[in-house]
Structure 1
Amino acid sequence: MTIAIIDYGMGNLHSVAKAIEHVSPDERVTITRDARAIKGASRVVLPGQGAIRDCMGELERTELTGLVKELLADASKPLLGICVGQQMLMDKSEENGGVRCLGYLPGRVTRFDDTALDEQGQRLKVPHMGWNRVHQHHMHPLWEGIPTGERFYFVHSYFVQADDDAHALGYIDYAGSRAHVATGRDAVFAVQFHPEKSADAGLRLLANFVAWSP
């Protein structure tokens, strides 16, 4: 089995690769922007980090936008989106004045309210940074062995709101908003948190992705 991590210049590529290698030492993990290698892989990871306009721009600059859309439309090859890699799957993002995304899942990406207060009356921090409990909204093979309410590691100011409840696989409540931090359909599963930085729970999710046969 080959697992291809798409290298379009954005994302925590080597940390993701090391984490996947840790849970699947017998599989080949490659960081690549070669279209034939990505098409020939058994599984694909779409990472992302930073501003979504930059991520979408770099995906276009490296001539990988069409390939990613092709993979999404095919619906047979398991694909894992991470961080901005989740946000890019939506219709649009409000970041940077509005950015058109890949349009795989109907919905939008919006910013947390940085005036929201916690129960003690203290202003909640935006970016939302650190550990938070993820509540599983629908059963999914990638949740296997992970209890609902398990903690995962986040770094983000913008979050996904899926239009279709069936696509919202996990959520957190933060700054007065319900953020869909796990979304997907068919052979696609995407998360806002960083599984490669989320200790045992993150490694279990990555192992589930490697074993997933949708």
Structure 2
Amino acid sequence: MYNMKVGIIDLGYGNLFSIKNSLKRIISKENIIFIKKIKQLKKIDKIIFPGNGSIIDCFNNMKNINFLFLLRKLLITKKKPFLGICLGKQILFNFNKEGKTNGLGLFKGNILKINSKKAPYIGWSKIKEIKRHKITKKIKKLIFYFSHSYYLVKTKYTYYKINYCNNNISSIFISKNFFLLQFHPEKSSYQGLKILKNFIYDNSSFRHIQQ
């Protein structure tokens, strides 16, 4: 466990160093690796796709497109634990209203724009539990920091949600080895750090097939 290596997907933008700084409080910095090439993932135990940015940016050049579809294949075949944050969550679904862009299609569902003049939503919200999961264990106050204009509507895989201006937003989506967050744990103080720690250390909650 203490030699577990965590890979942060690096497409050249996003809050990479905020994630790394949070992870350094959980594991040694030598075990935190920025991933720019798929072959680097062979030695990685768990994967984090950070938030911030636009899905249009993700598909803005052939290099990124090739990387993302190779990542898709790896996630299906190797089933490594994957934490998607905001954009890193939204890119896995069928269709994104932003730029009318197709995502990676790992899950059925459309990413919609928040139907409100108050978009983007930036601020703290308490998430509502639908189904309990160990990803939130030992967190007394489920209050997290959100910053987004697009969202996934609540589905059968939604474990926690918020309602913002009549938009029913899936806050934590969990399916097998995928843990997808709409909020930013790296900006969510102690409780966000606990989410990251639970993802990294609680192997009983995650299915992981070794290479």
Normalised to the residue count of structure 1, the TM-score between the two structures is: 0.86
Contact 2:109 2:152 in 1 (8 A): yes
Alignment RMSD: 1.9
What is aligned with 2:17? 14
What is aligned with 2:135? 142
The alpha-carbon deviation at position 111 of structure 1 amounts to 1.0
What is aligned with 2:169? 179
Cα deviations by residue, 1:15-60 (Å, 9 ceiling, x for unpaired): 1011011122387111121222123201111123222111233585
Cα deviations by residue, 1:162-194 (Å, 9 ceiling, x for unpaired): 5x41x1121100011110021121111010111
Normalised to the residue count of structure 2, the TM-score between the two structures is: 0.88
Count of residues paired in the alignment: 201
Greater alpha carbon shift after TM alignment, 187-196 vs 106-115: 106-115
- Within 5 A, what are the aligned runs for 1:60-209? 60-61=63-64, 63-74=66-77, 76-96=79-99, 98-115=100-117, 125-147=118-140, 150-162=142-154, 164-165=155-156, 167-209=157-199
2:175 & 2:149 partners in 1: Cα distance? 24
Cα deviations by residue, 1:98-137 (Å, 9 ceiling, x for unpaired): 110011121111111124xxxxxxxxx2110011111122
2:178 & 2:112 partners in 1: Cα distance? 21
Contact 2:58 2:64 in 1 (8 A): no
- Out of 19, 23, 26, which is 1:23 matched to? 26
Contact 1:49 1:55 in 2 (8 A): no
Cα deviations by residue, 1:68-94 (Å, 9 ceiling, x for unpaired): 212321363111001110111111111
Identity %: 30
Contact 1:78 1:212 in 2 (8 A): no
Structure 2 spans left out of the alignment, 5+ residues: 207-211
Cα deviations by residue, 1:143-171 (Å, 9 ceiling, x for unpaired): 11124x61100111111125x41x11211
Segments of 4+ moved more than 4 angstroms: none
SS at match of 1:193: coil
Aligned partner letter, 1:84: L
Distance 1:28 1:66, change over 3 A: same
